Chain A
Amino acid sequence: MAIARVAEPSGSLQDAKEWGLDREDLLQMYRNMLVTRGVEERGHILYRQGKIPGSFYTGRGNEASAVGVATAMGPDDVGTPLHRDMGVHITRGVEPWRIFAQYMGRADGPTRGKDGNVHMADHRLGLIAMVSHLPAMLPVAVGCALAFRIREEKRVAVGWFGEGAAARGDAHEGMNFAGVRRLPVVFICDNNQWAYSTPTHLGYAVEHLADRAAAYGFEGVVVDGTDVLAVYRETKRAIEKAREGGGPTLIESQTLRMEGHAVHDDAFYVPKELFERWAERDPIERLRTWLRDNVDMSDDEEDEITSYVKKLLNDALHRAEESPLPDVSTLTEGVYATPEDLDTPHHK
């Protein structure tokens, strides 16, 4: 018994224009998705070379979902992306070399070695750092929206959670509070069908997680997460609605997690046919085809983009590898904030 609306697939260039995307924007999205995948592919190599300690998580297959949502966010909007949403960091402007430094626990990573993987923040870019307990950041995103509402600012918060995390109380409590107060927050559920080894039918009993939005008093939408333009369109709609006081929306973005839960997991429990089927819907390949078909992306342009990405990542890797390991003396620094830490524009 489906309740949520299922989004239309993306259409022509005309549709894209209607939603505010010009050719350059579209090529930029393509670039961002390539950089996202490139960063994570390099990360795999680094990990196997022993240069990345701990564990390593990627969002292969989620590039369109991440980039699509991030592209729809306004410059003053904020978000709490998760570990499958590297595309959000890339799109918002986090430099790849910093991400590599973060992976390798170096002093120039955004957390200076204090946290790893994609647990990073950048306030100037409206990015709030995730934690491992999911979806603990969801009610935090709601809190950001609360601040915007109290101050009557036209800003929107975007909160991410996976279909697995939807089982925890934080999701319910966050969404309920947001619904009750009609807060300017958009909830993105990255439904990649597997919570580690737990398939969806062991995670929730409704047909779509987006159906739960009705239970909180707002709209739910299901979208094909490999269709970056559809994702963009739905997110843009939801964000602008929230911005104008229309309250929250829950967007369920459907993809398949194309790799294991983390690098140590070979996902043997995922049926091979599923991988094959979804490989045919690779989000990057989809956009590439669409660009060639709809905006006449030429071989040269494509090559130029490909080389640009390659060079960007090579340089980034180089720079990151030169970054030193953090000094041990920094371990005990910064446990507590000082008044100076609040000396930022949005704290004034």
Chain B
Amino acid sequence: MAEKTYLQAISDGLRQEMRRDQRVFCLGEDVGVYGGAFKVTLGFQEEFGPWRVLDTPLSETAIVAGATGAAIMGMRPVAEMQFADFVSCAWDHLVTVAAKQRWRVGTPVPIVLRLPSGGGFSGGPFHSQNPESSFAHIPGLKCVCPATPEDAKGLLISAIEDPNPVLYFEHKHLYRRIKGEVPDERYTTPIGKARIHQEGEDVSVITWGAMVYTAAEAAKQLDDLSVEIVDLRSIMPWDKEAVLASARKTSKVLVLHEDTRSGGFGGEIAATIGEEAFEDLDAPVKRIAAPDTPVPFSPVLEKAFIPQVDDVVAGLRELAEY
């Protein structure tokens, strides 16, 4: 056990897997010599060589489709999109080929796609998005969003083990800000299971990624309210049971995500709660999310875009008083 940053946990997990299993290899832009744009693969090429840590041409399709072909041939590629935003270039491949091979023709595609996502540092429209909902919508793909260093390592290992294409959304803004205890040994965090970040009685917050910490900070400020925070961790598949149990317990639910509101995955969660826990609700299910705009650049605008602690405090209070 040791205290690690979120980034170190990812790096260590990946390195351990590459040491353990020859089939695991990395490919992406600047992952080799440069060690990755965020230094996740720093030192990897020195240890594993240029054929296991591949600096690819600037071609998301070549990266992701290349990973698919290699995986079909028995490898376990961990491909990196330098920014999650660039995955749109590989959207066709993911949706058309990777997602559908198993169902159509019985061909598993065990690839992992690492996607540095999220904003909060004036990254602007093309370096700050949280695109998990579009891919959660495609049958055949899995999507995970760890919030803690411990889950970051465990979910990465699970993703590598998983025989399906797994989109691993690592939140850039958590890389160095968040530290936590991470076991040294190899372990997996189950995909599809949520984690109770903190227990509460009065109101439930269902959230993931960096928003887990925003929710926790908001809860601290509302010391007269007992707030339960459910860290979904896994967006597809998602832990419906855990969410419904929390909804039934508190009867007041806030769904919080950094992605934009319309079509964001919160809608799916809210609809499910309405369908399956209607008789347990003491208030309408509330959503807090970014407005339906691209991610702005200027700090004042970005603050108005990304749900802030104050927004969550206000939302929770409103729910409590309903």
Contact = CB atoms under 8 A, between A and B. Distances in A.
Direct touch of chains A and B (CB < 8 A): yes
Given A133-B96, A176-B57, A140 B107 contact: no
B65 A136 contact: yes
Number of chain A interface residues as a range:
35 or more
Nearest to B108: A337
Interface in B61-116: 61-62, 65-75, 92-93, 96-97, 100-110
Contacts of A142: 62, 65-66, 69
A147 B73 contact: yes
What 5 pairs across the A-B complex have the smallest Cβ distances? A143-B69, A139-B65, A337-B108, A147-B73, A337-B163
Nearest to A345: B74
Interface in B28-85: 51-52, 54, 56-57, 59, 61-62, 65-75
Given A174-B61, A337-B108, A342-B108, 12 more contacts: A110-B105, A129-B101, A129-B107, A143-B66, A143-B68, A143-B72, A143-B73, A144-B72, A146-B70, A147-B69, A157-B69, A341-B108
A197 to B, nearest CB: 23
B71 A139 contact: no
Contact of A144 (B54, B69, B142): B69
A188 B139 CA distance: 31
Interface stretch (A63-71, A114-122, A201-209, A303-311): A114-122
B62 A335 contact: no
Contacts of A90: none
A334 B103 contact: yes
Interface residues of B, number: 41
Contacts of A334: 102-103, 106
B68 A140 contact: yes
Interface of A: 78, 110-111, 114-115, 119-121, 123, 128-129, 131-133, 136-151, 157, 169-170, 173-174, 176-177, 180-181, 334-339, 341-342, 346-348
Main SS class of interface, A: helix
Name the residue among A123, A133, A177 with the largest chain B CB count within 10 angstroms.
A177
Name the residue among A110, A114, A173, A181 with the largest chain B CB count within 10 angstroms.
A173
B62 A341 contact: no
A143 B64 CA distance: 9
Name the residue among A140, A144, A174, A176 with the largest chain B CB count within 10 angstroms.
A140
Contacts of B74: 147, 346-348
Given A121-B107, A143-B71, A337-B110, A170 B102 contact: no
Interface of B: 25, 51-52, 54, 56-57, 59, 61-62, 65-75, 92-93, 96-97, 100-110, 139-140, 142, 161, 163-164
Given A133-B92, A173-B57, A150 B52 contact: yes
B57 A177 contact: yes
A341 B70 contact: no
B69 A341 contact: no
B235 to A, nearest CB: 14
B9 to A, nearest CB: 24
Contact of A174 (B54, B62, B108): B62
Nearest to B58: A173
A243 B107 CA distance: 25
Contacts of A144: 69-70, 72-73
A38 to B, nearest CB: 24
Contacts of B92: 133, 136, 170
Name the residue among B51, B104, B164 with the largest chain A CB count within 10 angstroms.
B104
A142 B57 CA distance: 13
Contacts of B140: 335-336
A170 B106 contact: no
Contacts of B105: 110-111, 114-115, 119-121, 129
B129 to A, nearest CB: 21
Contact of A176 (B59, B75, B100): B59
Given A169-B61, A341-B106, A139 B75 contact: no
B68 to A, nearest CB: 5
Nearest to A336: B164
A187 B20 CA distance: 34
